């Protein structure tokens, strides 16, 4: 009988210690967070300006093809300085923060090509010229139709104080 209560007490003590340790670690990790996330909703063909970054989306289409939905958009972007995409040091790989979001259902990553269909070479992003790309997102029809809201293209733009969620509804 004594041994049984001793085991139960030891297990309860271990659970309390793990819980306390997890709470302390949670507060350590989140204590220094000063980043803010601001949301900006945009329209098709609207020019968006950030320091060192200008872009717009045009020609949005969403078509069902058999068991998938294919969403295409044309993106015009000009980056004069690198940003902190993907929480890595300065880089110009905006695709790391670009998604198609189907609320409460799916996320899709873009396949990025030039207007002529040739694949994007990320070394081409190291110039300050204006670039035009075609973004192609593919999502299963079941996930697209199961979404609880209107799908949108999301680009998380790093700023000095955090991020700006740029949302373009389809």
CATH number, position 155: 2.60.40
> Are residues 90 and 107 located together in one domain of the fold?
yes
> Are residues 19 and 69 located together in one domain of the fold?
no
pLDDT at site 144: 84
> Are residues 17 and 98 located together in one domain of the fold?
no
> Are residues 28 and 87 located together in one domain of the fold?
no
Compute the distance between CA of residue 95 and CA of residue 74 in angstroms, rounded to an integer. Answer: 14
Compute the distance between CA of residue 41 and CA of residue 119 in angstroms, rounded to an integer. Answer: 29
In the chain the first and final C-alpha atoms are separated, in Å, by 66
pLDDT at site 90: 64
> Are residues 19 and 70 located together in one domain of the fold?
no
pLDDT at site 170: 85
pTM for this predicted structure: 0.74
pLDDT along the chain (170 residues), means of 10: 80 91 84 76 91 88 89 88 68 76 84 85 73 89 83 86 87
Considering its fold, how many domains does the chain have in total? 2
pLDDT at site 32: 67
Interacting residues of 90 by C-beta distance below 8 A, sequence separation 6+: 81, 82, 83, 84
pLDDT at site 167: 92
Q: Quick one: tokens of 146?
A: 């199961």
Contact 69, 106 (CB under 8 A): no
Residue numbers of the domain that contains 14: 1-33
pLDDT at site 103: 86
> Are residues 59 and 28 located together in one domain of the fold?
no
> Are residues 29 and 113 located together in one domain of the fold?
no
């Amino acid at each position: 009988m004594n041994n049984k209560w001793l085991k139960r007490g030891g297990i309860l003590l271990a659970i309390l210690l793990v819980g306390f340790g997890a709470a302390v670690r949670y507060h350590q990790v989140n204590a220094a967070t000063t980043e803010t996330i601001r949301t900006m909703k945009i329209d098709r063909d609207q020019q968006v300006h950030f320091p060192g970054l200008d872009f717009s989306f045009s020609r949005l289409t969403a078509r069902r093809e058999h068991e998938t939905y294919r969403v295409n958009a044309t993106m015009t972007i000009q980056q004069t300085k690198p940003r902190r995409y993907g929480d890595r040091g300065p880089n110009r790989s905006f695709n790391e923060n670009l998604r198609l979001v189907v609320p409460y259902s799916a996320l899709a990553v873009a396949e990025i090509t030039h207007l002529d269909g040739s694949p994007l070479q990320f070394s081409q992003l190291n110039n300050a010229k204006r670039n035009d790309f075609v973004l192609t997102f593919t999502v299963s029809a079941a996930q697209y139709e199961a979404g609880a809201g209107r799908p949108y293209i999301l680009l998380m733009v790093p700023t000095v104080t955090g991020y700006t969620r740029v949302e373009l509804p389809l």
